[in-house]
Structure 1
């Protein structure tokens, strides 16, 4: 008889947790929970680490996207400035700006000459 009673007690303790036990807090008084407390804490710790890792990864991705946008804008700004400088440095544009600002600079009609210096040894 005592063996049957012991088996019934073991069977009851090994049953799944009921909703009433969870609400009452009786679930925390069971031996199984106390045996597995470190494992449960470890799983909770891993879950927290997983959530933190996901959050950090999302922040890094947002940062990468923002940096890529800045690079595209900077590249476009650089290209537009380079084009503007190229157009300003054209000979016809320089002549136009000189005339517009009424500077006393005149355009050369003949190409510049080389100055050659002979060194005596």
Structure 2
């Protein structure tokens, strides 16, 4: 999938796998218990997760990322430069890479680097 901007919305229990994205930006909004798995490369990614769903961007290379989880859903991102991560609830945010991280936690969720 090649485009300047890619936007993905999953509501409810849907799931999607996109193995190759090539874009300047990715915006993904998931609500409910939906799942999204993506790969490829993008300069910027913004992930908003509400509910118990999951976002797996382990194979998506990005320079910057904004990751927000509200509820029990989990986010996995790969980012090189800058990560702004917010966990509200019990959802976890895990990142791959060595970015500068700004984090906010409200609840039992964790924000950790994958080793």
Higher Cα Rg, which structure: 1
Q: TM-score, normalised by structure 2?
A: 0.20
Higher fraction of helix:
1
Higher RCO (CA < 8 A, seq sep 6+): 2
